[in-house]
Structure 1
């Protein structure tokens, strides 16, 4: 990762949340994903 930083790249940790959804849909999606993880 140090090499990428030296080359000018930035590391951004990815998330499982789709960024195009509105906040209400994101909350619903998050709840569904949590329930799937538990089962």
Structure 2
């Protein structure tokens, strides 16, 4: 199990996620989809 709590993700000065919480259980698949690929 992977647990994220109070997670913040930024790209430059732009905040992409703020105060996010997630739990990923064994066998679950997770992906992030956006307008453009990160390089």
TM-score relative to the length of structure 1: 0.22
Q: Which has the higher strand share?
A: 2
Q: Which has the higher helix share?
A: 1
RCO comparison, higher one (Cα < 8 Å, 6+): 2
TM-score relative to the length of structure 2: 0.22
